[in-house]
Structure 1
Amino acid sequence: MTLQERINQGHMSTYQWGIVLLVTSLNLLDGFDVLALAFTASAIKSSFGLSGVELGYLLSAGLIGMAVGSIVLAPIADTIGRRKLIIFSLLLSTIGMFGSAISMGVLSLGIARVITGLGVGGILVGTNVIVSEYASNKWRNLAISIFASGFGIGAMLGGIFAVALQGTYGWHSVFISGGILTLICLVAVIKWLPESIDFIVLKGGSKQQEQLESIANTLRITEPWTQESKDTSQKVQLPVSKLFSPEYRRPVFAIWIAFAAIMFSYYFVSSWTPALLKEVGMTTEQSVSVGMMISIGGTIGSLIFGVLASRFTARNVLIAFTIGSAIVASVFISVVSHLWIAIVLGICIGALMNGCISGLYAINPTLYEAGLRSTGVGIAIGVGRVGAILAPTIAGVLLDAGWEKQSLYMGAGVVMLVATAAVGVLKNK
C-alpha cells in the first residue's frame, strides 16, 4: 500500500487538519479581496468619479487577474510543485494588496487589482489540490468544504474592516489590512505547508524517499507503506491537450460550464447586492450588513455541504444546492422590503451559492490523474473566473441600460439552472 493510499484510508491526524485550516486561511484571502472592493466601491466611485460601467470594470479587474492566474500558473504547479506555486502567488498577492492601498488613481488601482488577482488565482490552484490529497476518503468532502468556507470568512472580514476603517482612515486602509493578512499567510505557508505527495512521486529523484518518509513521520503514519515506482521517462506534467481527449472531454466541458455559471451568479450577488440594496432605500450600514450576511451564509453553506456530502454523493448534493440557489435568487430583491427579510434571504443565498462552490472544489480534483491534476483544476477554476469577470461588468451595463434590479436576479437564477444541467452530466461522486 502506498503512502497516498494510507492517507486515503487512514484517520485524519492533527497535522492533516492543520493543513486544512492553513489552506482555509489562504482561501480567506480570496473572499477578503473580492468583498473588500465591493464594500468600498461607493467610496472609490466617489473618490475617482466613476460611472456604473467604469466601476464594473474595476470590480472585474481583480477577477481577470484571478482567471489568468488560474489558467497560466496552473501548468507551472505541475512542473515546479504546488507548494512553490503557492509561495510565489502569495508574494504577488502581497504586492497587489499593498499596491491597491497606495493607489492614487483608477489606472494604478486597476493594475494593482490585476496583480492581486494573479496571486489569488495561483493560490487557489495549489491549495485545492493539496487539501484534496492530504484528506482521507472519509473526511475529504468535509475538508474541502471547510477550505471553501474560508471565502465567506474572508468576505465577512472584508466587510468588518470596511465598516470599521474606511470611515476614519479611508478606503486605502482596508487594503493595507489585506496586505498584512496576506504577508502573515506567506510566512505560515513557508513554515508549515508540505508539498503534494503525488507531485513528489511523479518528480522522482534521489530525495523522493526521504521527502515521503518525512511526511509520513509528520503525519504519524506508523503502518508500513511502499511507494510505487514510476517510469523515469515519464513526464511530470501531462500536456494540456489531454483535457480534450475522449477520456476527459465530456466531464471537463461539464465542469467548465458549471464553474462559469455558478461563479457568474455568485459574484454578481456578492459584488452588486450592497449597492443595489442602497438604491432601493436601505442605508449604507444596512446594505453592508446584508452583504456581510451573504458572506456569513457562505461560510455556513460550505460546512453544511460538507456534512451532507459525507452522507450522500457530492454530485447529488450539488444539484440540490444549484436548484435552491436558482429559486432564492429569483425572488431575492422583490421581497426585501424589510431589513430582517433581506438578512434571512442574504444568509440563504450566500449559503446555497457558496455551497455550490464547495461542491465544485470537491468534485474537480477527482476528475484528473496526478500529472494533470493542477492543470485541470486550475483551468476549470480559470474558466469559472470568466463567469465571475463578466458578472459585475454585465450587471453594470444592464443597469445603465435601464434594466430592473429584479430582472438581474432572475437572470442569475436562470444561470444557476444551467449549472444544474452541467452537474447532471458528471458521474455520481
Structure 2
Amino acid sequence: MPRPAAIDVTRFIDEAPLSPFQILIVVLCFLVVAIDGFDTAAIGFIAPAIRSEWQLSPAQLGPLFGAGLAGLMGGAFLFGPLSDRYGRKTVLVFSVLFFGVASLVSAWSNSLWELIALRFITGLGLGGAMPNAITLTSEYCPDKRRSFLVTTMFCGFTIGSALGGLASAGLIESYGWRSVLVVGGVLPLLLVPVLLVLLPESVRYLVTVGKKLDRVAATLQRIDRNADLRDAGFMVPPRAQAGSPVWHLFRPDLLRGTLLLWFAFFMSLLVIYLLSSWLPTVLRGTGISLKHAALVTAMFQVGGTVGAIVLGWLMDRLNAHYVLAASYTLAGVFTALIGNVTASPVLAAVAVFWAGFCVSGSQVGANALSAAYYPTDCRATGVSWANGVGRIGSVVGSVGGGAMLSLGLGMPALFVLVGIPAVLAGLTMLVLGRGHPGGRAAIPAVQG
C-alpha cells in the first residue's frame, strides 16, 4: 500500500485486507455483549421464581423489570458522550467492571426494593458497555463488511440472552434464582483483565482527539503488516467539531436521521423487552412448566441470533433500510401469531423463534446502521443515545406488560397489541430509506 503524506485511517481500514487482529477485536466485543445479554435477560428468566418466593403480583414485578432497563437507559445516555471524550476502550472496560460488581452484590438482596435498586445500578454499567462495543467494532471494520461483522459481533447479545435462559432453567432448579445473578457477576469480572491486555483503543478516536499517535501507527501495522507507516501523519475526515458530542447529533445533516433512528429504536426495544421480560410468565400461566417456559422464551434469542447474521449479510448487499423495514413488519406478524399458538409449546417455540429472528435480528441491524450513520466525533454518542431512547421504550414495554396482563385480554388480542410497535418501526425504516436512496450507499459509512 503506498504511503501518503497523511494517512486517512478510515480509508486505510476500508482498503486493507481483514486481519486476525480485527477478528480478535470482534471476538472480544462479542464476549462483552454476550455477558451483557446474559445479565440483561437474567431478570426475565428468574422473575417467576422471585414472584413465587416473595409472593408478588404481576404488577409488583413491573418495577423490577423497569429498574434494570431504566439503568440501561441512564448508562447509555451517560457513557456515550464520555466515550467520545475519554475513549471507547476506557469507558467500555469500566462499564464491564461496574456491572459485574453490581450483579454480584444484587445476588444477596433481601427484599424486592433492594433488588430493584441494585438492578438499576447494574443497568447503568450494562447500558454503557453495549453501545461502546458496537462503536469500537464498527470503527475497526472495513466498509464492505461492516454490517455483517457488527451484526455477527452483536449476536453475542442474543446468544448470551439465550444461554441465560438455558442456564437459568438448570441453575434455578438446583441452586435457586440468586445463583443466576452470581454467574452474571463473576463472568464480567473475569473478562476485565483480558480486555485490559488485548483490546485496543479506537484509532479513529485517537486521531480525532490527537492523542497517542504512536499507538495509532502500531495498531494500523497490526491490521496491515505490509504498510509503510514510518514518520506517517494521520487524519480522519471530517475533523472533529467543537462542542458537546450530543449537540452534534442535531446538526442539519444528521437531525432527520437521528429522530427517525430514535423512533425506530423506541418501538423495537419496546417489543423486545416486553416479550423477553413477560413471555416466561405468560407461558407459565398457560400451565406449562417453568423449565419449558424458559426454553420456549430462549427461542426468541436463538431466532434473534440467526436473524442478525442473515440480516447483516443482506444489509451489506441490498438497501439496508429496506431490509430492516421488511423484517420489522414481519416481526409484527409473527408476534401476533404467538397469541394463537400458546396452547402448544412446539408451535409457540416456532412462532417465538421467527418473532425473534425478525425483531431482535432487526434491532441488531439497526445498531449497525446507527454506527455507520454517525461520524467519529459523535459516533459513540449517536449509538448510545439511540440505545438510550430505545431503553425508554424498553421500560414502557416491561412495566406496561404487567398492566396489560391485568386487563384480562385474551392471548390473541394481547399479542396483536404487542406486534403493532414492530410494524411502526418498519415504517420508520422505510421512511429513512426513502431519504437515502441507492442501496448500500444509503449508509454514509465513509464519514470517518
Pairwise TM-score range, normalised by the shorter structure: over 0.9
Alignment of 1:71 with 2:59, yes or no, is no
Match of 1:278 in 2: 284
- Equivalent in the alignment of 1:379: 385
CA distance 1:57–1:90, shift in 2 (3 Å): same
The residue type paired with residue 378 of structure 2 is L
Give the whole-Å Cα distance in 2 for the aligned partners of 1:230 and 1:8.
Answer: 13
User: 2:144 is paired with a residue of what secondary structure?
Assistant: coil
CA contact (8 A) 1:45 1:55 kept: yes
TM-score by length of 2: 0.91
Within 1, Cα distance between the matches of 2:245 and 2:334?
41
Q: Is the 8 A contact 1:243 1:249 kept in 2?
A: yes
1:418 pairs with 420, 424, 441, which one?
A: 424
Quick one: distance in 1 between partners of 2:71 and 2:198?
27
- Structure-1 residue corresponding to 2:171: 165
- Structure 1 residues 139-150: aligned runs within 5 Å: 139-150=145-156
Match of 2:297 among 281, 291, 298: 291
The answer as to whether partners of 1:78 and 1:237 remain within 8 angstroms in 2 is no
Q: For each residue in 1:84-119, what CA deviation from the matched residue of structure 2 results, as whole angstroms up to 9, or x when unmatched?
A: 001111121012110121111112211211111111
CA contact (8 A) 1:78 1:236 kept: no
- Of residues 377, 389, 399 in structure 2, which corresponds to 1:393? 399
CA–CA distance in structure 2, aligned partners of residues 334 and 176 of structure 1: 37
Deviation at 1:79?
A: 0.9
- Is 1:181 matched up with 2:220? no
The aligned counterpart of 2:224 is 220
Residues 1:331 and 2:314 are matched in the alignment: no
What residue is the counterpart of 2:414 in the other structure? 408
The residue correspondences of 1:97-116 to structure 2 (distance < 5 A) are 97-116=103-122
Q: Residue 41 in 1 paired to residue 52 in 2? A: no
How many angstroms does 1:360 deviate by? 0.7
* Contact 2:10/2:236 (<8 A) preserved: no
Q: Report the Cα offset of residue 245 of structure 1.
A: 3.0
CA distance in 1, matches of 2:179, 2:218: 42
1:234 to 1:155, Cα distance in 2 relative to 1, 3 A: closer
| Residue 121, structure 1, aligned to residue 127, structure 2 | yes
Contact 2:150–2:368 at 8 Å: present in 1 too? yes
2-side partners of 1:297 and 1:50: how far apart?
A: 31
| 3-state SS, counterpart of residue 138 of structure 1 | helix
Q: 1:229 Cα deviation (Å)?
A: 5.0
Q: How far has the Cα of 1:237 moved from its partner?
A: 6.0
Aligned amino acid, residue 288 of structure 1: A
Superposition CA RMSD, Å: 1.8
Distance 1:240 1:19 in 2: 26
Counterpart of 2:368 in structure 1 is: 362
- The Cα offsets for residues 146-177 of structure 1, whole Å up to 9 and x where unpaired, read as 12211111112211221111122111111111
Following the alignment from structure 2 to structure 1, what is the Cα–Cα distance between the partners of residues 191 and 60?
Answer: 32
- In structure 1, the residue matched to 2:13 is 7
Q: Within 1, Cα distance between the matches of 2:216 and 2:262? A: 33
**2: CA distance between counterparts of 1:244 and 1:293?**
38
User: Structure 1 CA distance, aligned partners of 2:297 and 2:407?
Assistant: 24
SS at match of 2:187: helix
**d(CA) in 1 for partners of 2:218 and 2:42?**
39
Mapped to 1, the partners of 2:122 and 2:8 lie a distance apart of 38
Instruction: Name the CA distance, whole Å, in 1 between partners of 2:10 and 2:242.
Output: 17
Report the alpha carbon displacement of residue 47 of structure 1 after superposing the two structures with TM: 2.0
1:351 aligned residue: 357
Match of 1:151 among 153, 157, 160: 157
The answer on 1:29 being equivalent to 2:35 is yes
Does the CA contact (< 8 Å) of 1:75 and 1:237 recur in 2?
no
Q: Shift in Å at residue 405 of structure 1?
A: 3.1
- The percent of aligned pairs where both chains have the same amino acid is 30
Equivalent in the alignment of 2:97: 91
Find 2:24's aligned residue among 18, 30, 38.
Answer: 18
Contact map agreement 1:74 1:375 (CA 8 A) in 2: yes
Aligned to 2:258: 252
8 Å CA contact 1:45, 1:51 repeated in 2: yes
Query: What code does the residue aligned with 1:85 have?
Result: V
Per-residue CA distance 1:239-298 (angstroms, 9 max, x = gap): 422322322221100000000000001111111111111212322222111011112111
Q: CA deviation at 1:375?
A: 1.2
- The structure-2 alpha-carbon separation of the partners of 1:229 and 1:218, relative to structure 1 and needing over 3 Å to count, comes to closer
Question: Which residue number in structure 2 is paired with residue 211 of structure 1?
Answer: 215
Q: Give how far 1:52 is off.
A: 0.9
Give me the whole-angstrom Cα distance separating, in 2, the residues matched to 1:14 and 1:236: 35
CA deviation string 1:296-337 (max 9, x = no partner) = 111111111122223222212111110110110112121233
Work out the CA distance in 2 between the residues paired with 1:248 and 1:386: 21
**What corresponds to 1:196 in structure 2?**
202
Distance 1:352 1:418 in 2: 14
Cα distance in 1, alignment partners of residues 254 and 345 from structure 2:
47
Quick check: 1:294–1:347 contact (8 Å CA) kept in 2?
yes
1:367/1:132 CA distance change after superposition, 3 Å = same
Residues 229 and 324 of structure 1: CA distance in aligned 2, closer, same or farther (over 3 Å): closer
Q: Extract unaligned runs of 5+ from structure 1.
A: none
Shift of 1:230: 8.0
Q: 1-side partners of 2:163 and 2:240: how far apart?
A: 45
Q: Is the 8 A contact 1:126 1:374 kept in 2?
A: yes
Q: Give the letter aligned to residue 188 of structure 1.
A: V
Give the distance between the partners of 2:415 and 2:87, measured in 1 at CA.
Answer: 41
CA distance in 2, matches of 1:202, 1:90: 25
SS at match of 2:220: helix
